[in-house]
Homo-oligomer: A and B are copies of this chain.
Amino acid sequence: MSQPSASGDWIDLLHWNQDGLIPVVTQESGSGRILMQAWMNRAALAETVATGRAAYWSRSRNRLWRKGEESGHFQEVVEIRADCDMDCLLLSVRQAGGIACHTGRQSCFYLRLSNAAWEAVEPVLRDPKTIYKHS
């Protein structure tokens, strides 16, 4: 990973939305599995690049969210890509613990549309109560 600052041209080239955020898709390196979709602001992206660990902007908590800060389920960043419009990022990561979702599943995308209903199709690998100290 390179170690650019939060104000570099590479950051300014990205299209940040009206809230100063960009959507981020996080994919497991190797398997290609989509783990989650979240958002970053400039500070989160700069920290992600500087530390090599994914940090996002939590819209619900309105603060920087260092993925794994409570659960230990950090994401080691292998590669960062941007799309042709420069308005979305794709993170390739190694997922600590093999669990990205707060429900204890590997991926957040565990709901499959089936006969006009959302059906949970992936197993809970770990009880969320044992993941989060404060849940």
Contact = CB atoms under 8 A, between A and B. Distances in A.
Interface residues of A, number: 41
Interface in A16-72: 23, 25, 27, 31-34, 36-37, 49
Contacts of A36: 83
Contact of A112 (B81, B105, B108): B81
Contact of A102 (B84, B111, B112): B84
A85 B100 CA distance: 13
A27 B26 CA distance: 12
Chain A interface helix/strand/loop/mixed: loop
A108 B83 contact: yes
A131 interface: no
Contact of A116 (B10, B79, B85): B10
B37 A88 contact: yes
Nearest to A107: B83
A31 B27 CA distance: 13
Nearest to A11: B116
